[in-house]
């Protein structure tokens, strides 16, 4: 955005602020003070001036996650609850079929010892475990970052490589394909077996399927949730004996059946 | 004259409002409608000030003329006696 765009942005800000003030004045005159109610202003997608996050339509972003600034999220990816992807000073790109699990933090590097400005690039079908911190690093396709791992600036995790849980990978480290690194600072532990490499893609598929279920459940409007609550109460599991005494056969209504594509072999794999 | 006075007054009002915001550590343009009020007040103030100043000048000139006349009267009167 040029200076003109920035000027238009700030003038728009002034106009909107004045409009809100007029609105509040109107509310005061009408005698309703609902506008003073304090609600969280959290939004999943936030822009920083013209840096708008681009999230694919098929990606799942949990309602409590924050995606801020210059972030791209690809098809079939999932950003889980409490994640922060903050692309304010540089760009973050997340490939397709990738899952970034709960409470993870992805940021970009602006000021570090070498002074390099680095984007964060996460490839396709990557699994990033809970509470991982990815800072200005590159994670290639089908890599695995364990829970609570920290990846510092300039780290490259190559294809099919794995960072063990709780590891701290130091600056500018390259983790070669098919290896597990762990510890603080992270060191080479051992080679991955073929089984484990197969599990990485398996885990990505599992998660993208799980994400679809969560996305469907999160997209439900308020009254549908209420309706399902009533249904669940009505069709709650009773004791077998109680049912047989009454001679009732209970059927679960189709609304209450969760989609079974949580199982990996029941859904198509995300590209 | 009126135009430039209005412009200067508007700038003064705007500057004062922004200064007031800055003193309170608020962003400069918090409550942007107050800046418009400030600009209005500032331009009225400067216009009135210019008007008052011109009137004052006229009045002062009148008083000086009177004093001059009195002085001259004294000067010539003394000379005559």
Q: What is the pLDDT of residues A45-79, one digit of tens each?
A: 888 888 899 999 889 999 999 999 999 999 889 99
Reported as a pLDDT band with limits 50, 70 and 90, residue A271 is very low
Q: Which of A12, A18, A19, A24 to mutate to test the interface with B (most CBs of B within 10 A)?
A: A18
Q: What span, in angstroms and rounded, lies between the C-alpha atoms of B42 and B10?
A: 5
* Closest A-chain CA to B34: A18
Which residues, 6+ apart, have CB-to-CB distance to A133 below 8 Å?
Answer: A104, A105, A107, A149, A150, A151
Contacts of B31 in chain A (CB under 8 A): 17, 21
Of residues A10, A13, A18, nearest to B33 (C-beta): A18
Range with the poorest average pLDDT among A40-54, A72-86, A163-177, B21-35: A40-54
Residue A27: is its pLDDT beyond 90?
yes
Under DSSP, the state recorded for A90 is E
Q: How far apart are CA A253 and CA A217, in angstroms?
A: 16
Instruction: Provide mean pLDDT across the span A162-179.
Output: 91
CB A128 within 8 A of CB A109: no
Inform me whether the C-beta atom of residue A20 falls under 8 Å from chain B C-beta atoms. no
A218 CB-side CA count, 13 A: 17
Mean pLDDT of chain A: 86
In this prediction, residue A235 has a pLDDT band, given cuts at 50, 70 and 90, of confident
Per-residue model confidence (pLDDT) at position A78: 92
CA distances (Å), origin A126, targets A141, A203, A204, B6: 6, 9, 6, 64
CB contact under 8 Å between A18 and B29, yes or no, is no
Contact list in A for residue B14 (CB cut-off 8 A) is none
pLDDT band at A261 (very low <50, low <70, confident <90, very high): low
Q: How confident is the model at residue A221 (pLDDT cuts 50, 70, 90)?
A: confident
Q: pLDDT tens digits for A100-135?
A: 999 999 988 776 666 677 889 999 999 999 999 999
Whether the CB of B29 is below 8 Å from some CB of chain A: the reply is yes
Encoded tokens for B57: 């000048």
- Cβ pair B32:A14 closer than 8 A: yes
For the segment A153-169, the average pLDDT, to the nearest whole number, is 91
pTM over 0.90: no
Do the beta carbons of residue A49 and residue A10 sit within 8 Å? no
Q: What is the spatial distance between Cα A88 and Cα A71, in angstroms, rounded to a whole number?
A: 9
Q: What is the pLDDT of residue A259?
A: 66
pLDDT band at A270 (very low <50, low <70, confident <90, very high): very low
Q: How far apart are CA A107 and CA A120, in angstroms?
A: 7
Determine contact: B58 vs chain A, CB below 8 A.
Answer: no
Burial of B69 (C-beta count, 10 Å sphere; 0-12/13-18/19+): exposed
Over pLDDT 70: what percentage of chain B?
93
Q: Do B32 and A10 touch (CB under 8 A)?
A: no
For chains A and B, count residue pairs whose Cβ atoms are closer than 8 Å.
11
| Residues of chain B neighbouring A18 (CB-CB closer than 8 A) | 32-33
The ipTM estimated for the assembled molecules is 0.77
Interface list for A 21-50 with B (CB within 8 A): 21
pLDDT of residue A20: 94
* pLDDT of A154 above 90: no
Q: Would you call A10 an interface residue with chain B, using a CB distance cutoff of 8 Å?
A: yes
Q: For a pLDDT cut of 70, what percent of chain A falls above it?
A: 91
User: Phi and psi for A33 in degrees, rounded to 5?
Assistant: -115, 30
Structure tokens at B77: 């009167």
Looking at the complex, report in whole angstroms how far the Cα of residue A117 sits from the nearest Cα belonging to chain B: 29
Q: Which residues are bridge partners to A46 per DSSP?
A: A68
B32 touches chain A (CB under 8 A): yes
Residue B79 — very low, low, confident or very high, per pLDDT cuts 50/70/90? low
Instruction: Give the mean model confidence (pLDDT) for residues A21-35.
Output: 92
Tell me the per-residue pLDDT of A75-101, one tens digit each, with 9 for 90 and over.
889 999 999 999 888 899 999 999 999
């Amino acid at each position: 955005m040029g200076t003109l765009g920035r000027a238009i942005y700030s003038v728009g800000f002034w106009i909107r602020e004045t409009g809100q003030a007029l609105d509040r004045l109107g509310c005061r005159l009408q005698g309703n003070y609902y506008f003073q109610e304090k609600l969280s202003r959290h939004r999943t997608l936030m822009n920083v001036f013209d840096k708008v996050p681009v999230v694919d339509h098929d990606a799942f972003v949990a309602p409590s996650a924050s995606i801020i600034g210059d972030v791209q999220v690809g098809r079939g990816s999932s950003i889980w609850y409490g994640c922060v992807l903050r692309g304010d000073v540089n760009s973050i790109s997340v490939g397709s079929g990738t899952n970034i699990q709960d409470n993870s933090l992805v940021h970009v590097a602006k000021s570090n010892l070498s002074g390099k400005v680095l984007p964060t690039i996460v490839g396709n079908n990557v699994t990033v475990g809970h509470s991982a911190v990815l800072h200005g690093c590159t994670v290639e396709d089908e890599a695995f970052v364990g829970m609570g791992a920290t990846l510092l600036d300039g780290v490259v995790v190559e294809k099919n490589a794995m960072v063990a849980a709780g590891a701290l990978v130091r600056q500018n480290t390259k983790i070669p394909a098919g290896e597990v690194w762990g510890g603080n600072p992270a060191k080479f532990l051992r080679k991955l077996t073929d089984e484990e490499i197969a599990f990485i893609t398996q885990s990505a598929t599992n998660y993208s399927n799980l994400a679809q279920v969560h996305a469907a459940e999160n997209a439900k409007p308020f009254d549908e949730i209420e309706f399902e609550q009533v249904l669940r109460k009505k069709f709650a599991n009773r004791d077998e004996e109680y049912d047989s005494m009454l001679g009732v056969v209970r059927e679960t209504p189709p609304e209450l059946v969760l989609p079974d594509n949580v199982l990996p072999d029941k859904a198509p794999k995300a590209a | 004259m009126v135009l430039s006075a209005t412009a200067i007054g508007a700038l003064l009002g705007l500057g004062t409002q922004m200064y007031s915001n800055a003193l309170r550590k608020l962003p400069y343009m918090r409550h942007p409608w107050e800046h418009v009020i400030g600009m209005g007040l500032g331009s009225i103030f400067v216009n009135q000030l210019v008007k008052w100043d011109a009137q004052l000048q006229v009045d002062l000139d009148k008083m000086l003329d009177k004093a001059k006349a009195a002085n001259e009267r004294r000067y010539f009167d003394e000379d005559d006696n």
